[in-house]
A and B are shown apart, each in its own frame.
Chain A
Amino acid sequence: MSNTLSRKAAIVGIGATEFSKDSGRSEMQLACEAVKAALDDAGLKGSDIDGMSSFSMDNNWENEILRQVGGKELKFFSRTEFGGGAACGPFVHAATAIASGLCDTVVIYRALNERSGLRFGSGQMMNNSPLDPNIINFSHYFPYGFMTPAAWIAFSARRYMHEYGATSEDFGRVAVAMRDFAATNPNAFFYERPITLEEHQASRMIADPLRLYDCCQESDGAVAFVVTSVERAKDLANTPAVIASARQSIVKESRMMTPFYGETLSGIPEFDACAGEVYSMAGLSPSDIDVACLYDHFSPWVLPQLEAFGFCDRGEAKDFVKDGHINRGGKLPVNPHGGQLGEAYIHGMNGIAEAVRQIRGSSVNQVEKVDHVLITAGAGVPTGAAILERG
């Protein structure tokens, strides 16, 4: 499959700010800090950048960042919609642009003051324009007070429990595993603060069946990446995290956070649709994956991701998790940084940074012999997935 984007581009730089509840500075400053850190990490200058990609939801314009980090001209820039569903799209775009010769070096960034600013989980409207497609979509839910991400995801979690016999404890085991990793990650919110399953079960109900510890902590912070061609990556100091495959996915059942009208609510149809090609594009299979960095804004939706990507059969993720396979030392450690449940909620981008560290061998919770890491973007929205490979 030489005409695909497979293995044409690699992540060669990662940068981030600290993760906090109140950054005390603008999202623009967070973006500039993270981009500069990623360039420094790659050993590149602002003037080396000729492409940028980010989330539609990001409030920082490319031209403003380019100027401040010492850039000159962008030949390519793109955005991806759908909140955290955009976490993989920019890597698809960057690899495609580089593979096609559009540009050489793409900066990807996401900066948000989502905790100190407008919290998505608060039930506040993001925008009240009657032309905003979010508001048009949510108009069939907001009048009932059905207006928080936890509640929307609870619909699916309840169906998952109903169809497969999963329990709140099965979701809790995901949260416990994430918090265990976070406890040994000094950059995590929950550094040195692991939880037990009993504590999960005692935590208060947010949107039944989701308890407090099933929900990520909203955060301030920024993460940035430098993606360049695999040829150029050979001249740089870091071990390249080669983009072995990357794919976006919208299916006809896709809705913005409210996918309530398809055949089933217990799976994630976007991942079911794209998983096969994410593997085939890379020429890999589930058994080749050493670590998975899965989008875990809420613990229940880690389970159907494990099923969609073939680590276990449909409905058996609860047993896969119960057997400890996603834990520290398990056969498929998931989110060794602690995930969004344990480290921070930077719209999934902090998980992709961890994937790069695992490839490099530089994580604080390093897994032995990591050649391939699966990464996913948001669940419950149009989304994407990718496999990174040690170059």
Chain B
Amino acid sequence: MSDSSAADILERIKPLMHKRVGPYNSWNPVSRTQIWQWCSAMGDHNPLYLDDQYRAEHSEFSRDKAVAPPAMMQMWSMRDVNGNDGPGSTTDNLFEILAALEEEGYEGIMAVSYDQTFHRYLEEGDRAHHYSTIINVSDLKTTGIGKGFFVTQLAEFMDQNDELFAEARITYFKYQVPKKPAGASKPSAPGKINRIHPVENHDHEHFWQGLRDGKLLIQKCDDCGELRHPPQPMCEHCQSLNWSTIESKGKGTVYTYTVMHYPEIPPFDYPNAIVLVDLEEGVRIVSQLIGTKPDDIKIGMPVEMKLTEVQEDMTLPLFHAAGPKIEEKP
């Protein structure tokens, strides 16, 4: 990577801008077969394109000529599957600017936008070609994925009379790929790394769905009445497979705990206090303890659950110290 400044780079590539490159010719005229294939693949059932009767009765177009969907504009003068442009196409390189930026170390490329304008429909028998021009290179910009330049290309789609039938403005971001992913120093950044989602199989789904519905559910054997957690399909006391759930009040005491310091696993905040809670209903559950200083956590301390949506589609029964009973003294 050279040490050229952004200004130097722009100075070097500006002469390469505004050079209209083309034509890129089509291999075949607009045809009913290709329109049908495209409409069929895309699920586009607009009768204007292929229904001759409809077109005659409801449009100004010819009854005999299929009409091409505007969104097909770029495919008529596309390269073939071997990468060859249609006969008589230019051999000039449109992408000198991108190559120049790559030489300067801006090797990443990301498509940013694709704005299309349609001027007229193409009909069966029309013959398309197009020209492309790099019309803008931005100043050096800093983004979430790295530093780089926004490069905008204008594609002009012409018919056999050299009349513009559609155009597109395509913007790429050419950027320096950071050695470390941007944001790596901020592991808790929302949307970057989520808590690992639990397995919600047949045995466990009710528990997690219950939390999303605002309830901490404990399995209860329908035959012997024993409660159990974590969930399992068979009652270990009477071997019954019949079960339902009761809703826990979410109150209990700390049976044991740890405070995790290292390694710091995203997206969690550290130190991360984990408790094993003896629920009043008589089962134990693991969770996080929120809002208590590590030194103040004690075995036996009363805790209460607060159902918390920690991220989209994940609600957890987080615990906090139960409020002290305030007794008024005379």
Contact = CB atoms under 8 A, between A and B. Distances in A.
A204 B259 contact: no
B272 interface: yes
Interface stretch (B45-53, B56-64, B146-154, B195-203): B195-203
Contact of A140 (B198, B236, B288, B294): B198
Interface residues of A, number: 36
A136 interface: yes
Contacts of B257: 155, 158
Interface string B227-263: 0011000001000000000000000000111111111
B198 A143 contact: yes
Contacts of A147: 196, 265
Given A136-B199, A144-B316, A252-B236, A155 B261 contact: no
Interface string A124-159: 010000100001100111111111100100111011
B276 A155 contact: yes
A265 interface: yes
Contacts of B31: none
Nearest to B267: A145
B204 interface: yes
Nearest to B318: A144
B204 A207 contact: no
A143 B314 contact: yes
A142 B196 contact: yes
B284 A154 contact: no
Interface in A252-275: 252, 258, 260-261, 265
A158 B199 contact: no
A208 interface: yes
A143 B197 contact: yes
Contacts of A71: none
A142 B256 contact: no
Contacts of B262: 204-207
Given A139-B204, A261-B284, A145 B256 contact: no
26 contacts: A121-B263, A122-B265, A135-B199, A136-B199, A140-B230, A140-B286, A143-B310, A143-B316, A144-B195, A144-B287, A145-B272, A145-B288, A147-B196, A151-B274, A156-B256, A158-B257, A159-B255, A205-B262, A206-B260, A207-B259, A208-B259, A252-B236, A258-B286, A260-B276, A260-B286, A261-B229
7 A-B pairs with least C-beta separation: A139-B198, A154-B258, A145-B268, A123-B265, A208-B259, A142-B196, A130-B199
Given A145-B272, A159-B299, A252-B236, 13 more contacts: A136-B203, A140-B285, A143-B316, A144-B316, A145-B268, A145-B288, A148-B263, A151-B274, A162-B256, A206-B262, A207-B259, A208-B294, A261-B284
Interface of B: 195-199, 201, 203-204, 229-230, 236, 255-263, 265, 268, 271-272, 274, 276, 283-288, 294, 299, 310, 314, 316
